[in-house]
Copies of this chain bind each other. A is one copy, B any other.
Amino acid sequence: MSRTEALNSLHMLAAHVDEGRLWQRHLDMASIGATPLGGVHRLPFSKEDAESRRLFLSWASARGFAAEMDDFGNIFVRRDGTERNLAPVVSGSHSDTQPNGGRFDGIFGVLAAFEALEAIDDAGIATRRPIEAVIWTAEEADAQFGVGCLGSQAYADPSKLPSLMEIRNGQNIPVKQALAQLMADHQHLGSRPFKSPIAYYVEAHIEQGPELEAQDKAIGIVTAIQGHRSFKVQVMGEAGHAGATPERLRKDALVAAMQIFSGLRKVFHDPDDVVRFTVGEMDVVPNAMAVIPGSATFTIDFRHPDPDILQSLGDRIAVVARENAGPCDVTVSELRHSSPVVFKGSVPETILKAVESLGYSFMALPSGAGHDARYIAEIAPAGMIFIPCWRGISHNEAESATLQDMVAGTRVLAKTLVELANL
């Protein structure tokens, strides 16, 4: 193919992204674990999870794409490059969901990657590097196992494997056992070693936040995945009769929790609105109308893209809690601490060029949520493409994105993958 022909093919690539095919596959995936309210319940390692992976592999097989699996069940579907020994460009996400989750989170990135492979194929474009579509195992494992992104963590850092395998869910089943069941389905696949080189990694995903919709942008070029710290704050007071105990003798744990929360809101207030500070859980004991709360426990979810602010502001929580606890005792424990990851260089730059050439409206923004790209970025240049989702709602059956936005995101992805595969 001459350079002119190649440019023409690339120009036509967007047209080869097939709206009807993409939507049909979206519907086929959404039917696996479909809930009555229009969501999807497809827990990691479940039979629905296995079924979504079989469906993905059936598409690959119909198209003649080879498939490989690593020892954590991560599945790679490959369109070869002209230089087969080069490290591939990889794109994808996960096919599992939160309990009663949505039908876009994760699976959109898998569908977009596979559609991109087919569109590139249909456009007759040859790339130097192979391009692969991946399903990472158990991204949504946090709800059952307390930790997420298990597959991408294992791939990027196999030294974590022994500890990941031993994590247990509420039924005391270790990851090892759940994973063995899931992988038993796919013993025929080629074997992929952990940490096999990846030239570039691109993940498409719904934003899971309201910024793109609020700014009326079609595409988000992700600048970073925020750092994330979470904390448990336990306030111990003293239960007592609501009618009989005077204020001066009370140790009301909920009053203290409220004052701590209020003090923290002041400290975490950010005029630039970059800080993400959330108290999502509040549990009062005994939680009875006529009894002064004896204890109140709440969680803090704190995220920031700047590692210094993540450290310094997060470290103030325990201090502010003690200052505002009044007559109660308070203990603060940290549940999670993950550093920010910045996406820069070739991947976001190539996404930007693709968006501009296709003429979509766009903005740069950090990701509020964590993603497999967080871990793959440790071993390869990485980046992400966001599309808008309705009102920013995610991890919820009401999660929704338009086909138009899905197509736009897939076109940007396809073009980005071709460019990266020829770098």
Q: Write the residues of chain A forming the contact surface with B, with a CB cutoff of 8 angstroms.
A: 207-211, 214, 226, 228, 230, 238-249, 252, 254-255, 258, 261-262, 265, 270, 273, 275-284, 287-293, 296, 299, 301, 303, 335, 367-370, 391-396
**Can you list 16 A-B contacts with CB-CB less than 8 angstroms, sorted by A residue number?**
A210-B244, A238-B391, A241-B369, A242-B278, A243-B276, A243-B303, A244-B369, A247-B270, A247-B277, A255-B265, A255-B279, A279-B293, A281-B289, A289-B301, A289-B335, A291-B395
Most buried by B among A211, A230, A392: A392
Contact indicator B209/A244 (Cβ below 8 Å):
yes
- A276–B289 Cα distance when bound, in Å, is 13
Contact indicator A249/B289 (Cβ below 8 Å):
no
Q: Which residues of B contact A392 (CB under 8 A)?
A: 240-241, 244-245, 249
Contact indicator B281/A370 (Cβ below 8 Å):
no
A248 contacts which of B273, B282, B292 (Cβ < 8 Å)? B273
Contact indicator A279/B291 (Cβ below 8 Å):
no
- A296–B246 Cα distance when bound, in Å, is 26
- Copy number in this complex? 2
- A130–B227 Cα distance when bound, in Å, is 78
Q: A258-B262, A261-B258, A369-B241 are in contact. Are A246 and B211 (CB under 8 A)?
A: yes
- A214–B277 Cα distance when bound, in Å, is 41
Q: Which residues of B contact A262 (CB under 8 A)?
A: 258, 262
Q: Which residues of B contact A293 (CB under 8 A)?
A: 279-280, 282
A279 contacts which of B244, B249, B254 (Cβ < 8 Å)? B254
- A404–B276 Cα distance when bound, in Å, is 58
